[in-house]
Structure 1
Amino acid sequence: MKRSLRAQLAADPSVGTGNVLATVIALGADLDGPGLTFDTAVDHFPAEHPLTLGELDDRVQARTAWLHVHGIGRRDVVAIWATDAADIVLSFLALTRVGAIPALLNGKMAPAIASEYIRRLRVNGILADSTHRELLAGESDQPGSLHGAPILGTPKELGAGDSAKAPVHYRHHRDDPVVITHTSGTTGVPKAVLHTHTTLYAALKHLLTMPQAQGTDRILNALPIPHTATILMVNQVLGNRADMLLLSSQDAPVVLAAIERWKPRGVYGFAVTWAGLAREDLSRYAVGSVRMWFNTGDCAHEPHIRKLVAAGAREVVTREGRLMVPGSHFVDGLGSSEMGHNGFHVTHTPDSTHYGRCIGKPYQFASAAVLDAEGNELPDGTPGMLGFKSPSVSPGYWNDSVNTYRFRLNGWFLTGDLAYREAGGHFFHLDRVPDAVAGFDGPQLYTSLSEERILAALPEVLDCTVIVVPEGDGFVTDVLLELKPGVDAELEAEVRAAVGEEVAATIRRVSVVGAEGVPVTVTGKVRKVALRQDRLAEATP
């Protein structure tokens, strides 16, 4: 019996991040089947036209031909700075076809930071939409270039290429670099994360051998488009022959409107999007199509998850057969650009009780441990640094061997997180290393865990941020609360009770802020470094 397409993709060692689209077609997938759907126009196709597999391939081939005519080929690093999902994804697919290395930049990045990031990449060329091209012009000493690299054109211009004249698809070796994405930049200029043909496909090969989860046949992609996670999703849906609408904005109102309009069964996003959706009364919206929410990046907060799983529906198996019941799934975990895929997973439903920043267990293709400063594995229940091993892990940071090796210890990749493991094998996330005060002696001050406890205990709080600042020989803690509309209450006593005695003893102030009162990165992560610097500046005479 002929193996399924998914089985063939999983078994073929030549398949990887750089050639999934072409391989799916070569294996006989229906050209009239699903390709990708974008929220903006693609060449002569209107916004939200569901591109067939054949139409998608033709539009990528047109861009491949354009790049070839403009001299872009093997090992050329090309930066893409744009906002529209179609501009980024189609450019990525075309660049990998000629063997180039696309470097994806978030459209929200500040121009000065984008300029410095591009300089560090040492790119061969730049693709920028009209808005970002103007921003680059303000950073450039010479018209039409930046740091000596030519601005080749806008991503939309690539669609004018002649698809019939596209060159032969570059044949990737398993170790070929295929994409550079970047970290969130919480501490300044983001780090450039490299992935190869095989690292960014290793997790997908495993998933292709597993039954498809419910909700993955029609996906709304609310992940940041230039992020590693979106590249993963593009290749996942092409291999699964599923439908996916890619959104250029991850703002909650945009996502909510798309759910009502497009009726997805799965929604993929970051924690910031779930926090935004949780601000709404979801019972007032048509979100019943959703069976599964999938979170990656930072793990999500319990109150946000509970609001989401109360919406939608899911299929369960009973003695009476398969039934649809109210309430959806929420798949949580912990991931990063460097990890190449969520490293952990835990599934929540309306009946879940395993919260407290539980990120679950590692996927079968990965392993994890809690480490001390020398890289020794710590016993269950002891907090330490989170180490991760997986074929999906990035080989390093582009042009940055210092940080590449700084985050390796005793054979483990250090994720930058503090965690502990319980006896049953589940891992619990405590904080990011730079945001905590934690050691084997002295105070144990975890900002993320404190935020979790406040949100779980105080229903009046929509969101909160906790930071720890050095003061004299010790530390003080500041708590910023965003309250529900109409709430005007003094909550300091409740906050102190929620965080526990050790943190409560360090609290200096509890402040109420608006939704815009906390600085965030381009992917929505709170810039706690900036907040700490502000607090330190206030204390300086």
Structure 2
Amino acid sequence: MGWFCFHPSARRRFHKNSRRAPHPWETAMSEQSSVAPLAARRQLMTEASLGAGNFLDHAIAVNPNRAVPFAYSHHTDHRGAVVLRGHSLLDLAALRDRYATWYRANGVRPGEPVGVVVGEGLEPVLHFLALTALGAVPALVNDAMRHDVMVRYLNHVGVVGIVADDPTRLASAYREDPRQRPRFIAMAAEIQAFDAGSAPLPEDYPYRHAADDVVGLIHSSGTTGTPKSTMLAHRQFWDGKQPRMERFPAEPYDRLMSLMPHTHAGGLSYFLTAALLGLPTVVMSDWRRSVVEPVMEAFRPTMVASFPRTFVELATGELPVKGAAKVHSWFNTGDSAHYGHVRRLVQLGERPAGLIKPWLLPHQQAAEAALPGSQFIDGLGSSEMGMALFGQVTAPETPRDDRCVGRPTEAVVRAAVLDENGVEVPDGTVGLLAVVSPSLTPGYWNNPRLTATFELAGHWLTGDVARRDAEGRFYHLDRTVDVIDTVSGPVYSLPIEEVLLADCAELVRDCSVVGVPGLPGEGQRPIAVVQLQADAAQLAAEEVQEAANKALAGAGLATLAAVSIARTPEEFPLGPTGKVLKRELRTRFATLFTGQ
């Protein structure tokens, strides 16, 4: 993720030698750049008090360009044109203070959790900034979460209040059980229209955080059940990100498109980085291609950060050549991306020659002329990891290496593959992926027992099954709950999905592989639920299965016992963050072979 960069001289040469004329928007930006000077960014790397609870104030303190817009929201006007609105660091501080005044007037105090259920974009970030400035704990909720799950989650957190775009259904749920009702349930528009001069802020505003103060609660995707509530701590969520101040691409011409959900740790992580760098960033409120591509064409990003969900859409069908013309880097985190999608995206854009290796320092990188195509940085991370802790770089000329997530980043003290007793297994042996890093979460809110289940032999278990090769590269094979237990031994779903998406790309747009019960004595059997390419929409499931199994047999992998074609969105269920809900697929097909 943020630990990749171009050598400064390579970036300058790349810009100078670019075959494209500068875009008018780029020229306007370069005349008054919002980017913090390198000396200021280096100063941030050493600030002992800096953390996730006060990064905006530190950015304002060191950046002489604090009044220049850097964070952009977007909307479409009545003519269908994309309109970008810029906000400077000082603008964000003023909005934060208005929101904080409302929260303070409504009784919010340090340490209290508050539920925030607002649409994606800058809004969840503003609520995060306001609540942390009061020392409170924002519990950010993706508004795509199923409503009944949302209520259970907020009750588990024990929020003292809820702010939502549309609080009607939430209020109705609490009328059914008034004992659970928080102190307030308010409409977000009420805060946006609040007169900040009508109430005071506390004398010690903004709040001064201790290093281990909890500054945010992030729910999991729910792919394995009811969402967990991961704690972000003030210093912990900043630890490991310091090298980004010097090494993340932040030249005057660089622009970031953030497609991460900003109710998620990934979105907050990228926004924290962008704010400290003063890096021009469009904060997207929608991840669908129909919305993303017009904004790409208007903003002309050099970097795009997303979960795999949008990359799947951008890599499907006609490539977004115009919108991605200036892209040199794609950043993926959360679930690992699939090579079948990555290899199409890296055909787009332009980048320096010499791939950037995360384990080399900038002065060790080679400065070379521009090459066609871009690089895809696939970072394996999670809210619990605090950031992407493994990284793999793919460019057009990179050899295929299925499921490789690269080496650990410099934020990792130790990475290992363990057996169930916490003993490290030999290279090449599959086991539980485990890490030690200062960026790791303090644990799960109100659930120390659950926290303890992820701790083993002094490591944090990421919830993944992996192996390491003799050269120190790690390979991500599956989530632990998704391993398919067949009578012949464990089968891992992700390598199968990799083959379907790369070797059956003319048929398969996206897919999800799960294990379902076979007949007594058969164990589980692997099946695939697939979305077809438009040109293959009329194919029968048996035809897709035949092509898939031929490719899988050629790769030496287990073949599929069945294929189901998802012809509607409901047949390919996604969670709030865009991950396929494999647990729902397992339930749906639980009796496929048993007939019970």
Q: TM-score, normalised by structure 1?
A: 0.92
1:398 correspondence with 2:445: yes
- Coordinate RMSD, CA, aligned: 2.6
Answer yes or no: is the 8 Å Cα contact 1:291–1:328 preserved in 2.
yes
How many correspondences in the alignment?
Answer: 532
Q: Could you tell which deviates more after superposition, 471-480 or 348-357?
A: 471-480
Distance 1:161 1:537 in 2: 58
Q: How does 1:22-61 map to 2 (within 5 A)?
A: 22-27=57-62, 29-39=64-74, 48-61=84-97
Q: Secondary structure at the match of 1:112?
A: helix
Q: Which amino acid aligns with 1:113?
A: V
Answer yes or no: is the 8 Å Cα contact 1:332–1:359 preserved in 2.
yes
Q: Secondary structure at the match of 1:49?
A: strand
Q: Which amino acid aligns with 2:325?
A: G
> Which of 458, 481, 491 is residue 434 of structure 1 equivalent to?
481
Once the 2 structures are TM-superposed, how far is the Cα of residue 31 of structure 1 from its aligned partner?
2.8
Match of residue 138 from structure 2:
102
Once the 2 structures are TM-superposed, how far is the Cα of residue 333 of structure 1 from its aligned partner?
2.1
Distance 1:310 1:214 in 2: 23
Q: How does 1:49-88 map to 2 (within 5 A)?
A: 49-88=85-124
Distance 1:191 1:216 in 2: 39
> Which of 317, 321, 325 is residue 280 of structure 1 equivalent to?
317
Match of residue 421 from structure 2:
374
Once the 2 structures are TM-superposed, how far is the Cα of residue 34 of structure 1 from its aligned partner?
3.4
Distance 1:475 1:172 in 2: 50
Q: Secondary structure at the match of 2:53?
A: coil
Q: Secondary structure at the match of 1:344?
A: strand
Q: Secondary structure at the match of 1:492?
A: helix
> Which of 343, 356, 373 is residue 389 of structure 2 equivalent to?
343
Q: How does 1:81-160 map to 2 (within 5 A)?
A: 81-130=117-166, 133-141=167-175, 147-159=180-192, 160=194
Answer yes or no: is the 8 Å Cα contact 2:120–2:263 preserved in 1.
no
Distance 2:75 2:190 in 1: 15
Once the 2 structures are TM-superposed, how far is the Cα of residue 349 of structure 1 from its aligned partner?
0.8
Match of residue 162 from structure 1:
196
> Which of 375, 379, 403 is residue 333 of structure 1 equivalent to?
379
Q: Per the alignment, do residues 479 and 321 of structure 1 end up closer, same or farther by CA in structure 2, a change over 3 Å counting?
A: closer
Match of residue 484 from structure 1:
533
1:508 correspondence with 2:557: no
Distance 2:149 2:268 in 1: 23
Once the 2 structures are TM-superposed, how far is the Cα of residue 215 of structure 1 from its aligned partner?
10
- Larger RCO: 1 or 2 (CA < 8 Å, sep 6+): 2
Q: How does 1:72-471 map to 2 (within 5 A)?
A: 72-130=108-166, 133-141=167-175, 147-159=180-192, 160-162=194-196, 165-167=200-202, 168-210=205-247, 212=249, 217-282=254-319, 285-316=322-353, 322-366=368-412, 367-437=414-484, 442-460=488-506, 461-471=508-518
Once the 2 structures are TM-superposed, how far is the Cα of residue 59 of structure 1 from its aligned partner?
1.2
Answer yes or no: is the 8 Å Cα contact 1:98–1:170 preserved in 2.
yes
Distance 1:3 1:324 in 2: 24
Q: Which amino acid aligns with 1:139?
A: A
Q: Per the alignment, do residues 316 and 505 of structure 1 end up closer, same or farther by CA in structure 2, a change over 3 Å counting?
A: closer
1:4 correspondence with 2:4: no
Q: Per the alignment, do residues 213 and 354 of structure 1 end up closer, same or farther by CA in structure 2, a change over 3 Å counting?
A: farther
- Unmatched 5+ stretches in structure 1: none
Q: Secondary structure at the match of 2:513?
A: strand
Identity over the aligned pairs, expressed in percent?
A: 33
Distance 1:218 1:421 in 2: 35
Q: Per the alignment, do residues 494 and 61 of structure 1 end up closer, same or farther by CA in structure 2, a change over 3 Å counting?
A: same
Q: Secondary structure at the match of 2:224?
A: coil
Distance 1:445 1:106 in 2: 32
- Residue by residue over 1:257-310, the C-alpha shift from the partner in whole angstroms, topping out at 9 and shown as x without a partner, is 211121111110001111111113115543202111100000000010011110
Match of residue 581 from structure 2:
527
Distance 1:526 1:245 in 2: 26
Distance 1:200 1:40 in 2: 31
Once the 2 structures are TM-superposed, how far is the Cα of residue 325 of structure 1 from its aligned partner?
2.1
Answer yes or no: is the 8 Å Cα contact 1:35–1:56 preserved in 2.
no
Once the 2 structures are TM-superposed, how far is the Cα of residue 73 of structure 1 from its aligned partner?
2.0
- Residue by residue over 1:338-368, the C-alpha shift from the partner in whole angstroms, topping out at 9 and shown as x without a partner, is 0110010111111111420110111111031
- Residue by residue over 1:15-39, the C-alpha shift from the partner in whole angstroms, topping out at 9 and shown as x without a partner, is 0000011122223533322342223
Q: Secondary structure at the match of 2:388?
A: coil
Distance 2:461 2:164 in 1: 33
Q: Per the alignment, do residues 501 and 81 of structure 1 end up closer, same or farther by CA in structure 2, a change over 3 Å counting?
A: same
Q: Secondary structure at the match of 1:141?
A: helix
Distance 2:75 2:110 in 1: 29
